[in-house]
A and B are shown apart, each in its own frame.
Chain A
Amino acid sequence: MNKLNVRLLWQMCASLIAVCGTCAYAQDSVEFLNGTKLTGKILEIRKAAKEFDFETSIAGQSVSRTYQYSAIHAVTYNGKRFVINQLPSNSGNDPKSETVRGEKTEDEVRQIIDSEGASEPDWLATTRMNHPKSLELDWPLKADGPWNESKNVGQYLWGRVNPNPSRWRPGIKLLYECVRLHEGKSDLLKRDYSALGSKYFELFQDYPRAAYWFEKAGVRMNQPTGIHLAECYYRLGNKSMAMKLMRGQSLHFDSIKLLGEMGEIDEALNVTRVYGNTRAFNEAFLNAGDALRSVGRLDEAIEYYQKVLDRNEARNAEYLARYRGRASDSINAIRLFDKADVSKVANGQYTDKAVGYNGDLHVQVTVADGKITTVEVIKHKEKQFYAALTDTPRQIMDTQGIRDIDGTSGATITSQAIVNATARALAQGADQ
């Protein structure tokens, strides 16, 4: 045996020992808050981001995953056990769902906005931008000339991104690109931030990110974006933050709806009163009606809707028709609320319509054994703010009724139209 062979043998031995060594290290384990336990190998710990990478083998398949501390109960690392979060008490309530619905302190909300809100969504890196080359990405605050979606970014976002869900993610990415290009131009950047917030809010209902960008934009309360920021706080679990933001400010009429939803109906009516003497009274009255309706003050709601019909004026005939349509649909729906009690509705499939944002919206409701089994928007012309089309029917199914439906953010008109149409459809069944 020559020298080379001996060296090779030694090397082999050494590597064998090394392999055994790593095997021994591989027995780290992670205990999750939900009781699941995984064994594997911790690859990297990032203290600042409060996360670590963990490689595990599941039925022979090796998978790597990054875990946030927040999901972890304890970790055994190099044979030593570290408790990261205490297990929730045995009351059986679910820590996760609590964070979705329950109240949070201002600090908690702040932290969510600063960490999650400031982060990029994980799909952003893999999203391909697909906007036309002709788009002028310097995007001045004021677009010149007629409507041109292939040139003006704002118009592109409105005309091409909003109505086409497949363009939502590339649209967000485009806004990030605009932010990058407009570096140093503070007025443009403010607009970009606000647009980014709006997209996260309207399209994705991603409240942490929406709040982050709205804050960065310094949105004002006399704009819908300001009210949206307040709504973000509310949805994230802290109503007082929303109230604090709106207090003492002149509020956009969209706030009426939000205030109503937050239960601050008197505040809402105060705002309505202010708008009652302006050109925007139609929107204000309709919003006030919706707000009153959502807290069950139906007679007052009808009064407000009736005011829209009585004053009978708007910017043009088209607007007038729409406002009147929404008002009378809502009055009808309220009158039908008793009839639309699903326990009184005969089995069957009912279809009816109501006026939405862009025209008539048709809903098909199926009732079986006193339960709403499906609610489906079968025909609509809503091109902006899609979320309500799936969100509101789901809420109706969940609550088995049409009284306690939260308007879907940024799509309240569509949402209301679905509720109205459902009420009429259900009432058909009660007639029989």
Chain B
Amino acid sequence: MTQPQLTKFASRILAISFLVLAVLLACGLGMRWGSVAEWNDASRVWGWLVTGVCCFLGLMLVQSGWNDQRSPAVLRLDWFLPVIRRLPVNTQPGNSLLGRLLRKLALGVQSDWQRKRRGKARKLLRQLGLSWVASPLRRLTQTICLLLFCWLFFYVCWPYHARPNQTQTIGSVTFTAFDQDSGVAHFTIAADEPTVRIGQHIFLRPTDKTTPPTSTEELLGEFTVVQNSGDQLALKPVGQLSPMLLDVVTGLSSNRQFEVTDRSPLAWPDHYATSLEAKEFVPAEIFLMIDPLVSLSTAIASRSWVWSLGCAAAILLVCVVIPRGFCGYLCPLGTTIDLFDWALAGRTKRFQVPADGWWVHIKYYLLAAILLSACGGILISGFFSAIPVVTRGYLFLLDPLQSGVARGWHLVPGFNIGHLLSLGLFFGVLGLGFLRPRFWCKYVCPSGAVFSIGNLFRATERKVESSCIHCNKCVEICPFDAIKPDFTTRTTDCTLCQSCAGVCPTHAIKFVERTNLVQLKVDDEPPTNETALGRRGFLSLTAGTAASVAGAAGATLLGKAYGANLGSDDPFLPVRPPGSVPEQEFLEMCIRCGECFKACPNNVLHPESFQQGFEGLWTPMVEADWAGCESSCNACGQVCPTGAIRALPLDEKRHARMGLAIVNESTCLPFAGREACDLCVQECTAAGYDAIEYTQVGVQVDPQGHPIEGTGYAAPVVLEDKCVGCGLCQTRCFAINVKERHVLSESAIIVEAGEGKEDRLMSGSYKRLHQQRIQLSPSPFSADRSNSLAPVEDADTTSIATPDPFGVQTNEAESDSPF
């Protein structure tokens, strides 16, 4: 067997095995074979991902294995769509499956070389630009990714689609009968239009509430509707049957009538959380997750496992097949830079610099500096890492516009010096485009550097065949400066965008497996004058390394010296979002991407400026004068890519203490004896925390020590074991007493963070912590003492032998029954 035949054979075998594997996996996952049934959701998602990759690889190999026109290759990744181009001289259209299919679908779009006429598709793409003709698939992917990024950012992370779910009262029911065997109770329903369906879950609670409004112990039953005929309802209780519920279904409850509602009237509100969950069919922070530098630097800085490392590993694996594909295809910052270059920077040549210079390796040294300072516990990747830069840029630039237009300009929070710095950085990144197109991506971006290093393990690469005519078109179009003067590839820079292949007049460029040596062009012709170390070689290496070490040391020292100073006596301690990890770890893990600000309803979270120096810049802090944390929202944790804010379920989040509200007794209106005011109590009760209650202050006493009516005020007092520090009280006091009525200069109740005032856990349950705290809270009496007053009555237990066990004679004649 000849070499080409062997290659083709290998390719076909591989293709078939990948496809068979994909089919098997799909069947296994679809039909729950064997142990698959016991897999959890996450494993199953991974399973489908592997299936998808197998399928992709299989189809790709089919396309290379059954392609008889082109030079043999095990893996061929040519997707620059030669189908819309003219054919090479003296060749027939390819026979490949995909090629034939595309020709069938796109009838008449192929250019006619004989008559030198372009096809329709090519004409259309030329309208869009040369790079669209050269590699339309890449441009399309870029567009889709940028749109996806914007959709996630401006739609999914826009919290205001959430509407509070109102509990609807369906009607009121009265007990009629009960059947013990089925456990079904029958009720008569009185309602204007009973709108219940069979199988619906409904909630019953007494219409006349004789017990005081203490929500925890209120009688409430959940039922399924079994039968619904006119005004008769058959209901089956859901879950454990409590004695109280037993009374309801047997009609023995002291409450005669029950109100029927469609949701539990005691349920904790969850509309923000459910709204986000419903919109988030891909994670809102997906691009941040797949930026490998984000998770890598965070993990190093905090010396802990960051869950998004898994995603970074996945994207690096994908980039083994498509080297640096992230930069060429996915990165929204790259696409934004492309847009900026096209719109502005590309229109002037005045500031252009040559292709070669000391700057070409900045990215490696920047990466080294970032990782070194991460080792020193200072996280600076947020300043330079691609996705945090673009996320923060969009946040500070476009989010105020979105908020202002959609909700009103008065709801746009102000900005601080930190905002300006971030925006300056963003425009700096864009402005580099004046030097060369995509200067940032080629030479500076440290995330790109991670992929460049990852390219060392590439499985495929760009190859140039001997039909190259040295026309230089590829060098001119390459957006990443990845083609050497001899037209071969700078493999660490090539993003496999395939623009070069799209413009090559002789079809000399192919994207095949790394080991492919078929019909290759001779290297170093014309000579490149490049050393093995790359351009500028050794000099650059030493200088760069020195610079990066110095930079890292400088950043670390600056961060520590001009930082949060958590060890000092009186450090500035901002109130962090609910579920934030302990402060030191938080500073090490927060990538400062700004995603949480976007997802936070009413902008409770504001970016910190320099209050904690350089170390706390752009980290989220609660600005409770502006707004309080919604009890039904857990968005900040859900969108955090590094786990600095833990992704808590709502039931956990509602117990996570972010701070503690402290009443300023010298200014609070009732305490100061100025007037009655209970705004904070009302707000806290309405939010469901019940953490602020009343106390009487300034009451005058008569000689007996009894209060004199009309003296004193009811003042707020915060219950430490219930307050979570949401800040709603502070917001209300500020909005009414400070801004509207001008009776105070600052809110009289302020949420403070700090030791003992907040829960900061790396792992573990806040709910359990809350319960422990309640149990540990001082009780004035020891548990063993009985508080019962009534003497325990001697149980008059009756033996079976007694003829009248109830003490009630059945025969009226024998005794005078008390009944």
Contact = CB atoms under 8 A, between A and B. Distances in A.
B701 A146 contact: yes
B700 A147 contact: yes
A35 B233 CA distance: 18
B795 A144 contact: no
A120 B180 contact: no
A69 B787 contact: no
A188 interface: no
A77 B793 CA distance: 24
B693 A36 contact: no
Contacts of A81: 810
B350 interface: no
Contacts of A86: 819
A269 interface: no
A123 B800 contact: no
A142 B703 contact: yes
Interface string B696-733: 11111101111100101010010000000000000000
Contacts of A295: none
Contacts of A152: 705
B408 interface: no
Given A45-B806, A133-B780, A37 B180 contact: yes
A179 B789 CA distance: 9
B209 A129 contact: no
Contact of A176 (B214, B246, B789): B789
B527 interface: no
A263 B49 CA distance: 81
A82 B789 contact: no
Contacts of A381: 676, 678, 714
Given A52-B806, A84-B819, A128 B787 contact: no
Contact of B183 (A58, A131, A167, A322): A58
Interface in A149-173: 149, 152, 154-155, 158-160, 163-169, 173
B806 A69 contact: yes
Given A118-B790, A120-B788, A176-B789, A143 B819 contact: no
Contacts of B808: 69, 82-84
Contacts of A58: 180, 183, 241, 246, 249
A214 to B, nearest CB: 16
B177 A142 contact: no
B806 A82 contact: yes
Contacts of B252: 32, 34, 36, 67, 71
A154 B705 CA distance: 8
B780 A129 contact: yes
B796 A147 contact: no
Contact of A164 (B209, B693, B781, B805): B693
B214 A169 contact: yes
Contacts of B183: 58-61
B696 A159 contact: yes
A69 B806 CA distance: 9
Interface in A55-113: 56-61, 63-65, 67, 69, 71, 75, 77-78, 81-86, 94, 96-97
A155 B704 CA distance: 11
A38 B251 CA distance: 12
Nearest to A203: B212
Contacts of B214: 165-166, 168-169
B163 interface: no
B698 A38 contact: no
A390 B699 contact: no
Contacts of B778: 133
A305 B808 CA distance: 57
A273 interface: no
A152 B702 CA distance: 14
A64 B243 contact: yes
Contacts of A180: 787, 789
A390 B779 contact: no
Residue from B184, B240, B804, B808 with most neighbouring chain A CB atoms (10 Å) = B808
Contacts of A394: 208
Interface string B669-689: 000000010100000000000
Given A34-B252, A38-B250, A82-B806, A45 B797 contact: yes
Given A45-B797, A45-B806, A58-B246, A160 B693 contact: yes
B690 interface: yes
Interface string B244-259: 0011011110101000
A319 interface: yes
B716 to A, nearest CB: 11
B697 to A, nearest CB: 8
Contacts, number: 201
A250 B796 CA distance: 46
A205 B208 CA distance: 13
A160 B714 CA distance: 9
A135 interface: yes
A6 interface: no
Nearest to B243: A65
Residue from A58, A143, A383 with most neighbouring chain B CB atoms (10 Å) = A58
Given A46-B797, A47-B796, A147 B699 contact: yes
A22 to B, nearest CB: 12
Contacts of B701: 143, 146-147, 155
A186 interface: no
A48 interface: yes
A35 B819 contact: no
Contacts of B193: none
Contacts of A143: 701, 704-706
A177 interface: yes
B695 interface: yes
A143 B702 CA distance: 9
A399 B470 CA distance: 98
Contacts of A386: 212-213
Contacts of A49: 793, 796
Given A69-B808, A149-B696, A34 B175 contact: yes
A276 interface: no
A173 B787 contact: yes
B706 A154 contact: yes
Interface string B509-549: 00000000000000000000000000000000000000000
A181 to B, nearest CB: 11
B798 interface: yes
A65 B796 contact: no
Contacts of B249: 58
A149 B787 contact: no
A393 B458 CA distance: 76
B569 interface: no
A119 B788 CA distance: 10
B236 interface: yes
A314 B246 CA distance: 56
Contacts of A165: 212-214
A11 interface: no
A19 to B, nearest CB: 18
Given A96-B256, A130-B779, A158-B707, A85 B210 contact: no
29 contacts: A32-B251, A34-B175, A34-B250, A36-B177, A36-B250, A36-B251, A36-B252, A37-B180, A48-B794, A56-B180, A58-B183, A63-B243, A82-B806, A84-B819, A94-B256, A130-B779, A131-B780, A132-B780, A133-B778, A143-B701, A158-B707, A160-B694, A164-B694, A165-B213, A165-B214, A169-B212, A318-B710, A386-B212, A390-B209
Given A32-B250, A34-B250, A129-B780, 13 more contacts: A32-B251, A36-B252, A63-B243, A119-B790, A120-B790, A147-B696, A147-B707, A154-B706, A160-B693, A166-B214, A359-B676, A383-B714, A394-B208
Interface of B: 175, 177-178, 180-184, 208-214, 217, 236, 240-243, 246-247, 249-252, 254, 256, 676, 678, 690, 693-701, 703-707, 710, 712, 714, 717, 777-781, 787-790, 793-798, 800, 804-808, 810, 819
